[in-house]
Amino acid sequence: MNTKKRVVVGLSGGVDSSVTAYLLKEQGYEVIGMFMKNWHDESVTISNECPWMEDSTDAMLVAEKLSIPFQAIDLSADYQKRIVDYMFAEYKAGRTPNPDILCNREIKFDIFLKAAQKLKADYVATGHYCQRGELEVDGKTVYRLLAGADANKDQSYFLCQLNQEQLSKALFPIGHLQKSEVRKIAKEQDLVTADKKDSQGLCFIGKVRLPDFLQQQLKPKKGKIIVIPEDLPLYAEKTVPAGVSPQDFDQETLDAICMPLHYHADQGKQIGEHNGAHYFTVGQRKGLQVGGTGKPLFVIGTDTVVNNIYTGLGETHPGLLRYGLFVPKSDVHWIREDLRLEPGTTATYSGRIRYRQALSPVTLIMKENGLYVLFEQAQKGIASGQFVAWYDGAEAIGSGTIF
């Protein structure tokens, strides 16, 4: 029983963080509940679709019920600068950011952590479905980020940009539980959030469609939708050579497989118009509003400079499927610093490029310019700006922003 350690819990007004606070109190920690207000620009959202006031009230009621101190902290200026502005800049450049991963790295385990430390907290805790482990390497404690026990809710991918310092201060008290068990505990403790529905996505967007949100700064601009044929000669270079181990690929082959494709209008034919290439992302199917194509139409490339969208017909179009991706040197992040690859070395792990995606075997090849990630199975819809994360079993080892 630990009676001295102080923990600040990010109380969001949801069931997961509520149970997090309850469990920590039961374990003997001194618990403080803190609600983060991350967004309040009424001009870009519909206020009743972003119930932060209701969430704040629920968080306060939970703190009252558990007899723990409670305070709210307004982080909206930092959130605007570090998350929202970044999102707009990335979409404007034709890339696909992941605000959830950034929010954890930049807000919850940076700005919020610093606010907690001003309250002399030893740890911050969140209601994430993941687990923290420890081991000793060369006499030093190394922190491990492990998948949550509930495979359907595992959120380790969203925390794949955390570092050792952040992990050393983080607690994830519900990571070993199933969601059903968390709800059961909340009901038994008569917490107001016990039956509350899980929030979907980022509150500030609410139920507003992402293009509508982006239109606040990125204005609509008519452009061409081009369909690209399957037999484009450059697709032949993107295939993985048969019978050759990825470690033996030459530089030209690695670049051909891992670097993003760039299209131009005369490679295909126009089949429609769109309202702005920056509203679309690779792999997207909805929102194109082009009918009569037979097979479903997918975005396989965007060009925000000339304002064209490039599409392919069907889920097996070679422009939609890729065996590799590249992470520039400055964007490679190791959670496990002790497992960092040096240029000229390789490793095999499992990887994913989106939340809740099944892990797929990958080969990592580190070069002077960055990391080449080669998948055993072709991946659908690899988009620049997304994050790739690699795992050893249930442990997240590192991650990077896709070029």
Per-residue pLDDT tens over the stretch 78-107: 988 998 899 999 999 999 999 889 999 999
Which residue range(s) make up the domain with 232?
219-240+263-315
Same domain as 234, residue 100: no
Same domain as 195, residue 57: yes
User: 135 lies in a domain?
Assistant: no
> Does the pLDDT value for residue 175 go beyond 60?
yes
User: 73 lies in a domain?
Assistant: yes
- The confidence band for 4, taking pLDDT boundaries of 50, 70 and 90, is confident
What is the C-alpha to C-alpha distance for residues 167 and 161, in angstroms, rounded to an integer? Answer: 10
What is the C-alpha to C-alpha distance for residues 254 and 365, in angstroms, rounded to an integer? Answer: 9
User: 203 lies in a domain?
Assistant: yes
Check: CB of residue 254 under 8 Å from CB of residue 324.
Answer: yes
Going from the C-alpha of 129 to that of each of 280, 290, 301, 383, the distances in angstroms are: 30, 39, 33, 26
User: 58 lies in a domain?
Assistant: yes
Top-confidence residue, 280 or 41 = 280
Same domain as 233, residue 112: no
- 197-243 pLDDT, tens digit each: 887 655 444 455 666 777 778 889 999 999 999 999 989 888 888 88
Q: Which of 315, 331, 349 is the last residue of a domain?
A: 315
Check: CB of residue 132 under 8 Å from CB of residue 178.
Answer: no
Give the domain CATH number at 69. Answer: 3.40.50.620
Top-confidence residue, 200 or 331 = 331
Segment 253-263 shows an average pLDDT of 95
Handedness of CA 16, 108, 132, 153 (dihedral sign): positive
Same domain as 281, residue 180: no
Residue 218: its pLDDT value, please? Answer: 87
Name the nearest CA neighbour of 334 among 215, 92, 167. Answer: 167
pTM of the model: 0.93
Contacts of 163 (CB under 8 A, 6+ apart): 333, 335
Same domain as 56, residue 195: yes
User: 342 lies in a domain?
Assistant: no
Same domain as 228, residue 205: no
Same domain as 177, residue 96: yes
Q: Which residues are catalytically annotated?
A: 103, 203
Segment 106-112 shows an average pLDDT of 95
Same domain as 281, residue 198: no
Same domain as 184, residue 69: yes
What is the total count of domains within the chain?
2
Same domain as 92, residue 231: no
What is the C-alpha to C-alpha distance for residues 379 and 253, in angstroms, rounded to an integer? Answer: 18
DSSP state of 173: T
